[in-house]
Amino acid sequence: MDNFTVGVVVFPGSNCDRDVSWALEGCLDIRTKYLWHESSDLSDVDAIVLPGGFSYGDYLRCGAIARFSPLINALDEFVKSGKRVLGICNGFQILTESGFLPGALVANKNLNFICDDVELDIVSSKGGWFNNVDEKQTIKLPIAHGEGRYYCDSDTLKKLVDNELIALRYKNNPNGSSFDIAGITNEKGNVLGLMPHPERACDKTIGGTDGLFTLKSLILK
């Protein structure tokens, strides 16, 4: 695993890229490389994180402009090859806008920007992103978003439930998300998008370590 490298994508307006890199390098000793959004060469990296922030100022819709970057265009082949992609917050919004994950993220029901720690039920072990092989578990992660209300139509929701694609559900739904959804995977399980920030829960001194497992699981094959 010495050479395993996680690419951390940097868009204009990303602001969690350094947090992700700090958590991977400093807490988990996993090598990272920043990938500028105009790069389409993903040959040096073994997994990719789309970090939180406000790519392109959230113009038009969150994640809508980022979708057209050269890097996101190159992501299709990367995902098809089975390599792992983690989209956190704005990264999750980009993954839905670009069609890697179904549904969309819209303004919170109460219109507030919510910055809080939330309890989450892990409801699927697909992709091995969470430490819940034996039973349902609850973790606590920070959220920080104004547009984190997951929305999908009833047919899509049924598909998500039937195929065990719902990874995380809020215990106390903070934003009005359909079915309390906080994170989902694609059918293969190698793409995870979630609104909570695992990179902000990787050290006891800043409030918890429940995010470590998800970041560490980037190195799974």
Taking CB under 8 A as the rule, does residue 152 contact another protein?
Answer: yes
* Cα gap 38→67, rounded to integer Å: 12
CA dist 135 → 114, 179, 189, 221 (Å): 29, 20, 18, 23
Q: Give the one residue of 28, 64, 74, 114 binding another protein; rule: CB under 8 A.
A: 64
Q: Which of residues 166-195 bind another protein (CB under 8 A)?
A: 176
Taking CB under 8 A as the rule, does residue 32 contact another protein?
Answer: no
115 as an active site residue: the answer is no
Taking CB under 8 A as the rule, does residue 103 contact another protein?
Answer: yes
Taking CB under 8 A as the rule, does residue 114 contact another protein?
Answer: no
Q: Give the one residue of 111, 116, 133, 155 binding another protein; rule: CB under 8 A.
A: 111
The answer to whether the CB of 42 falls within 8 A of the CB of 7 is yes
Q: What per-residue string of b and e applies to 87-124 under the rule 16 or more CB within 10 Å gives b? A: bbbbbbbbbbbbebbbbbbbebeeeeeeeeebebbbbb
What's the min distance (Å) between Cβ of 106 and another protein? Answer: 6
Q: Give the one residue of 55, 69, 108, 186 binding another protein; rule: CB under 8 A.
A: 108
89 as an active site residue: the answer is yes
145 as an active site residue: the answer is no
What's the min distance (Å) between Cβ of 178 and another protein? Answer: 10
Pairing type for strands 137-145 and 114-122 reads: antiparallel
CA dist 102 → 29, 77, 97, 157 (Å): 32, 18, 9, 9
Stretch that binds another protein, among 60-68, 136-144, 196-204, 210-218 (CB under 8 A): 60-68
Residue 100's nearest CA partner among 198, 176, 191 is 191
Taking CB under 8 A as the rule, does residue 159 contact another protein?
Answer: no
The answer to whether the CB of 32 falls within 8 A of the CB of 39 is no
Residues that bind another protein (rule: CB under 8 A) add up to a total of 20
Binding site for another protein (CB under 8 A): 60-61, 64, 68, 96-97, 102-104, 106-111, 149, 151-153, 176
Catalytic residues: 89, 197, 199
